[in-house]
Amino acid sequence: MALSIKTYRDGIQFSAIIQPRSSKNKICGLRGESLKIRLTSPPVDGAANKMCVKLLAKQLSIAPSQIIIVSGQKGRNKIIRIEGMDTPEFLKKVSQSNKIKF
């Protein structure tokens, strides 16, 4: 399966599955049509959401303000929007830094 990415106004939107309390922060591949992200933060008081935004911002070399968690603030399954980035650029940056093939 491939990551399902939707074009949204001036950016993209995709689904992600978050695994909190992991041993390290890492984008580790795909699960179905979602990006799987492991985080060291516990899912308490939005800590995992903040860590997710921080990790994605670092991996994509963008400002954290360009990343919005559209839905799933209190669950593992999230819809994430990246503003100011297109699909080819997103796939290139994620695959280069994490050795993931799309």
Is the per-residue pLDDT at 98 higher than 70?
yes
Residue 14 or residue 1, greater confidence = 14
> Which one-letter DSSP state was computed for residue 9?
T
Q: Are 79 and 72 in contact (CB under 8 A)?
A: yes
CA dihedral 16, 21, 27, 33 (to 10 degrees): -30
Out of 27-31, 82-86, 94-98, pick the least confident: 94-98
pLDDT of residue 67: 98
For 56-87, the pLDDT digits (tens) are: 999 999 999 999 999 999 999 999 999 999 99
Please give the model's pTM, rounded to 2 decimal places.
Answer: 0.92
